[in-house]
A = this chain, B = another copy of it.
């Protein structure tokens, strides 16, 4: 069965030709026993995620024993509530085979490349809905744990503006250039722009789906998803064939949040799934960031609300990386305007500079009166102003020196 779960390198990816060169890291060598894979595949389908009671039960008994007891209905009441409806249907082997036919396989907590550290956030979360996934269907050559080591989620509205699309793509390019994985949800709008930004510089990107990993959903993203699968990873906790039901988008969002060190919401309306991703991220201890926009734009309203409620306002990739990056190392230079020749002058010099006539020069006494600065201080100020090329004198009288345009 492991051979079914881990297809030989070069096997075709369902229905789409994979563009570009063969992936560098081909699927992992068998390392997890078939019985574990089968048990996890069964458990993943038997309960609709998130299944906190089942997750605890599996944690306690191990996947093989847990699966056997679920099958027989010998489980505590909360687990029964999550599994009773589907426990009779065991399609584990078929799911693994269907996945293999698309170049996908089942990544389990028993695999080396399971993102153990990022997903440990689920264990400490108090919210039962933030349950860890029991396993993940993955499609693509990359190792998920590695991709999650340095990752930023960039998410937002489907109904975005060209402004939002532009910002999402630029942000994705910039973080991918610095070696960060761009995690998103493959939706049209902001998500798509984020994936495209990363792909445009062959940067790593992960698409977390609300349906089977073999599905081209949305249909308009068929090529995009094939490109993500070719160079990064398409990931889902839903088995092959699963349809993208509405609630699954919300449930899926916790995985996007968990896989990244921080979530950037680029555009979001008042009722946006991105707000849920941000809320999940906050509860998982991730940095929550939002990009502002015009207050007249409905698709920035959600971002503004998040910022008012504590999310960090970000305007540049440097600010995002400062938040998710290494403490004290990935610091953003504070933005500044262009320097001016009067920067750093003391108060007396500023007053004298303001008082200097533009044309007919004047003597110190006049300047002292005009500026309200004692004559001694005027003389000191004029030396400094002349040194900076801001004042010039003729026969003991001073005037402002014309500045060249910058």
Using CB atoms and an 8 Å cutoff, list the residues of chain A in contact with chain B. Answer: 46-48, 80-82, 84-86, 89, 163, 166-167, 245-248, 269-271, 291-296, 300-301, 304-305, 307-308, 312-313, 315-316, 319, 334-338, 340, 350-351, 354-355, 368-369, 371-375, 377-378
Residues of B within 8 A of A271 (CB): 336-338, 340
Judge whether B301 and A315 touch: CB under 8 Å: yes
Q: In the complex, which of the residues B80, B295, B371 contacts A48, with contact meaning CB atoms closer than 8 Å?
A: B371
Chain B residue nearest to A354 (CB atoms) is B245
Judge whether A375 and B247 touch: CB under 8 Å: no
Q: Evaluate whether A307 and B313 lie within 8 angstroms (CB atoms) in the complex, with A247-B350, A296-B163 already known.
A: yes
Judge whether B296 and A167 touch: CB under 8 Å: yes
Residues of B within 8 A of A351 (CB): 48, 245, 247
Chain B residue nearest to A298 (CB atoms) is B337
Q: In the complex, which of the residues B166, B315, B372 contacts A86, with contact meaning CB atoms closer than 8 Å?
A: B372
Give complex CA distance A146, B95 in Å. 75
Judge whether B313 and A308 touch: CB under 8 Å: yes
Name the distance in Å between A224's Cβ and chain B's nearest Cβ: 24
Residues of B within 8 A of A84 (CB): 374
Name the distance in Å between A274's Cβ and chain B's nearest Cβ: 13
Pairs of residues from A and B, 6 with the lowest C-beta to C-beta distance, nearest first = A48-B372, A292-B292, A270-B337, A271-B337, A245-B354, A295-B315
Give complex CA distance A245, B375 in Å. 19
Besides A85-B372, A247-B354, A301-B335, 13 new A-B residue pairs in contact (Cβ under 8 A), listed by A number: A48-B371, A48-B373, A80-B374, A81-B377, A86-B369, A166-B296, A270-B337, A271-B338, A291-B295, A292-B313, A304-B313, A307-B307, A313-B313
Chain B residue nearest to A343 (CB atoms) is B271
Name the distance in Å between A241's Cβ and chain B's nearest Cβ: 12
From A85, A269, A354, name the one whose CB has the most chain B CB atoms within 10 angstroms.
A85
Residues of B within 8 A of A305 (CB): 334-335
Name the distance in Å between A16's Cβ and chain B's nearest Cβ: 27
Judge whether B315 and A372 touch: CB under 8 Å: no
Residues of B within 8 A of A337 (CB): 269-271
Chain B residue nearest to A313 (CB atoms) is B307
Judge whether B315 and A319 touch: CB under 8 Å: no
Name the distance in Å between A250's Cβ and chain B's nearest Cβ: 9
Judge whether B354 and A81 touch: CB under 8 Å: no
